[in-house]
Chain A
Amino acid sequence: MKKIFNKIFAKFDNSTIENKIRRKTLLSFSFFGLMIFIVIVGWKNLLNQPKVDGVLKPLRTTLINNEKIVSATVYSNKNLAPTYPFEKAARQVRVNGNYGLQIAADTTNWKLKIVRKPGDTLMVTLAEIKALPKTELTYNFKCIEGWCQISNWGGVLYSVFAKKYGLPIDSAYAGLETPDDGYYVGIDMPSMMHPQTLLCYEMNGKPLPLNQGYPLRLIIPVKYGVKNIKRIGTIFFSNSPPPDYWAERGYDYYSGL
């Protein structure tokens, strides 16, 4: 017995260089192994967290915090999307997404419904929208999938429209929905009021095609394509984030550029 104990303790006797190397190596690798274990346990723990709107809670929180950091530091409505001459705009504009466009569009009776506040609803016709000063914008539309395309759009600046119809600009968010509720987005007010955000009724100088959102869509260069809702039916305002189609499916609510 004594022989075995002596043999074991001899390995930890610091007097020889071999034992010293053995001891230090064992200690270091044990700590290394412990760290690996902790990382694996931590990772599994992360993957077992509940999901908030399709994404793990700690990640959802990070997405929200990232937006807070960006808003508080680098975001400014003075930062504009680069614009291009009309010649650079694509003639074949890419079509993506048909949510909210499934049922036939009511093109004759359509009016834009705006709920300024509960009980205060405004109905605006396309003609009234077209009567406002028109802005044309040729910019590099960015899809959240990662492709982009320079395209030309025409309409009235939302900030001009909001001023004309006395829309609330102190609400934290605007919510926009298609008439059939098939697609809906929530947008923070600073981005809605961005100087390039358009209520858009023209593409390449002609009325929007149905698959691009006729009669009216949002063109908002400071956001990814997902926020550029087609066929706007209703606009309303809220201090909490309105329902947002892709945010519910795991995407960043803000999707800002």
Chain B
Amino acid sequence: MKKIEKKHPLAIRWFHWINFPVLGVMIWSGLMIYWANGVYTIGFGDSTILKFFPTGFYEALNLKYKLATGMAFHFFMMWIFAINGLLYILYTFISGEWRYLLPNKNSFKDAWKVLKHDLFLTKEKPLQGKFNGAQQIAYSGVIVMGIGSLLTGIAIYKPIQFSTLCWLLGGYEFARIIHFALTIGFCLFFLVHIAQVIKAGWRNFSAMVTGFEVKENPLTPNGGIDKI
């Protein structure tokens, strides 16, 4: 016997889905800006492990020689990203949703169990409330990262008018590195998020559109009348 369980409030669903294309444009335009001085690598000593990015990457995504376009889109979309993000944070606190979202003292042990389960290292299913421990850490984490992107973005956008902020973030060059690293972080989050959404199945995904999740009523699994 199925039942409807309210899960994601309307406001949360709006903020979530708006962020998808908005962040997409921010990252795409950001890559056009980054290309103009695309110097970051990961390595140690004389050897390079990862180059951000090989020429083929820019060519495949048609990102070269588009600094002006990148900046124009970036400085337009940044308003929507910032306002949507700030409203989301405000709503999360005012509505009480933060109680589901923020990690508690058990979340870290819990997240470890989620990781082992998802890597097929254990069959033990971790506790799944609205969010499991790993989700709480990840979703709270991306909010902190979003704030970080906004602040480092402001610091590298107006390093003289916001010179104190820029100094606090390590100076222009370092703030640019953090801004870039956070973006890579968002991309990695996105990949894991999509994989997990696919793994969690249709009912879970549907809940982020409809706001409710279809659950089986455990007391009448054979279709008896639901008196609850």
* Closest Cβ neighbor of B3 among chain A residues: A17
Residues of chain A with a CB closer than 8 A to B160's CB = 79-81, 221-222, 257
Other-chain residue from B36, B72, B161, B226 in contact with A74 (beta carbon distance below 8 A): B161
Contact in complex: B72, A55 (CB < 8 Å): yes
A121 sits at the interface (CB 8 A): no
A12 at the interface (CB under 8 A from B): no
**A64-81 CB contact bits vs B (8 Å, 1 = yes)?**
001000100011100111
Q: Are B210 and A63 in contact (CB under 8 A)?
A: no
How far is it, in angstroms, between the C-alpha of A35 and the C-alpha of B17 when the chains are bound?
10
Interface residues on chain B, number (Cβ under 8 Å): 37
Whether A17 touches B72, Cβ cut-off 8 Å, given contacts A25-B210, A28-B210, A75-B161, is no
Taking a contact as CB atoms under 8 Å apart, the answer to whether A28 and B209 are in contact is yes
| A54, B69: Cα distance in complex, Å | 9
Q: Which residue of B lies closest to A55 (CB)?
A: B72
B2 touching A146, Cβ below 8 Å:
no
Contacts of B158 in A (CB 8 A): 70, 74, 256-257
B36 contacts A145, C-beta separation under 8 Å: yes
Question: What is the interface of chain A mostly: helix, strand, loop, or mixed?
Answer: mixed
Determine if B214 and A250 form an interchain contact, defined as CB atoms under 8 angstroms apart: no
**B72 A82 Cβ-Cβ under 8 A:** no
Query: A56 interface residue, CB < 8 Å from B?
Result: yes
B residues within 8 A CB of A60?
72
Question: B15 at the A/B interface (Cβ < 8 Å)?
Answer: no
Q: Are A20 and B4 neighbours in the complex by a CB distance under 8 Å?
A: yes
Q: How far is the CA of A251 from the CA of B66 in the complex (A)?
A: 10
Whether, in the assembled complex, A29 has its beta carbon less than 8 Å from a beta carbon of chain B, the answer is yes
Min distance, Cβ A106 to any Cβ of chain B, angstroms:
32
Is residue A91 within 8 Å, beta carbon to beta carbon, of the partner chain? no
Asked whether, in the complex, the Cβ of A28 is within 8 Å of the Cβ of B211, the reply is yes
How far is it, in angstroms, between the C-alpha of A148 and the C-alpha of B2 when the chains are bound?
61
Q: In the complex the two chains form, is A55's CB within 8 Å of B68's CB?
A: yes
Number of interface residues, chain A, beta carbon within 8 A = 46
B209 and A146 contacting across the interface, CB-CB below 8 Å: no
A59 proximal to B (CB < 8 A): yes
Looking at the assembled complex, report how far the CB atom of A145 sits from the nearest CB atom of chain B, in whole angstroms: 4
| Among A39, A82, A146, A148: residue with most chain B CB under 10 A | A146
Using Cβ atoms and an 8 Å threshold, which residues of chain A touch B36?
144-146
One digit per residue, 1 when the CB lies within 8 angstroms of any chain A CB and 0 when it does not, for chain B 24-65 equals 000000000110110100000000000000000000000000
A90 adjacent to chain B (CB < 8 Å): no
In the complex, the answer to whether B1 meets A56 with C-beta atoms within 8 Å is: no
- Contact yes or no, B173 A148, CB < 8 A: yes
Tell me if B190 counts as interface (CB < 8 A to partner A): no
Tell me, in angstroms, the Cα distance from A246 to B36 when the chains sit together.
Answer: 15
A70 near B1 with CB under 8 A, answer no
Check A11 for interface membership: any CB of B closer than 8 A. no
Q: CA A80 – CA B167 in complex, angstroms?
A: 13
Least Cβ–Cβ distance between A228 and chain B, in angstroms: 14
The closest CB in chain B to the CB of A194 belongs to: B160
> B68 contacts which chain A residues (CB < 8 A)?
54-55, 246, 249-251
The 3 closest A-B pairs by CB, nearest first: A146-B37, A250-B68, A59-B72
A residues at B contact (CB < 8 Å): 17-18, 20-21, 24-25, 28-29, 32, 35, 39, 43, 54-56, 58-60, 62-63, 66, 70, 74-76, 79-82, 140, 142-148, 221-222, 246, 249-252, 256-257
Measuring CB to CB, which residues of chain B are less than 8 angstroms from any residue of chain A? 1-4, 17, 21, 33-34, 36-37, 39, 67-69, 71-73, 75-76, 79, 158-163, 167, 172-173, 176, 206, 209-212, 214, 226
Q: List 7 A-B contacts (CB under 8 A).
A: A18-B2, A66-B75, A70-B158, A76-B161, A79-B163, A145-B67, A257-B160
Q: A18-B2, A251-B71 are in contact. List 4 more A-B contacts (CB 8 A).
A: A28-B209, A28-B211, A29-B206, A66-B75
